[in-house]
Amino acid sequence: MTNQLLNITEEASTVMIEDAINAFPNECCGFFYGTESEEERIVTIARPVLNSKEGDQRRRFEISPFDYMKAEQFALQNDLLLLGVYHSHPNHPSVASIHDLAKAMPYFSYVIISVMEGEFNTIQSWRLREDIREFREEEVCWKLANRSQESEFGGSATSSHSSPHRIHQ
């Protein structure tokens, strides 16, 4: 696996982050789509789905098999790649958990949005390593009007104007 940059457009970033804030204090979830080259994955569309987890949705999310099927159909119909899954961590960091690792599939990027007390905090992405069942953090470039991320590995958000933000490995 190459170390591709995950480049999330402003529109897709906005959908993911607004979904995470609106779902708070529960976890949100959804899919994201786009294109990829050897150097980067470009996320152009994010689509929320229902968190179908029964029980405590503040700590877990689940996507139904039907929603996975619809996601694959959407990608085919729109000539896009289904690049991954996003979800939120309410009142927790955007670091992948053991539960996230247990459910992860090869190829997908896993974007995690941290929401603290109803406010966007950080965004990070994770991907399974090919040689061992563990995550590696992906470098992320994302855009969001009036937000900026200024540190490596999921630093906190501060005010700015619609510029790209990179998190380095």
Least confident range from 49-53, 56-60, 100-104, 123-127: namely 56-60
What is the residue extent of each domain of the chain?
A: 5-167
Among residues 158, 134, 126, the alpha carbon closest in space to that of 144 is found at 158
Would you call 146 helix, strand, or coil by DSSP? Answer: coil
Per CATH, the homologous superfamily of domain 5-167 is: Cytidine Deaminase, domain 2 (3.40.140.10)
Instruction: Tell me the average pLDDT across 20-35.
Output: 97
The share of the chain scoring above pLDDT 70, in percent, equals 85
Token pair for residue 62? 């689940």
What are residue 139's phi and psi, to 5 degrees? -70, 130
pLDDT of residue 165: 40
pLDDT of residue 2: 61
* pTM for the full predicted model: 0.85
Q: What angle do CA 141, 112, 39 make, to 5 degrees?
A: 35
pLDDT of 159 strictly over 70: no
pLDDT of residue 65: 95
What digits encode the pLDDT tens for the residues 6-27? Answer: 999 999 999 999 999 999 999 9
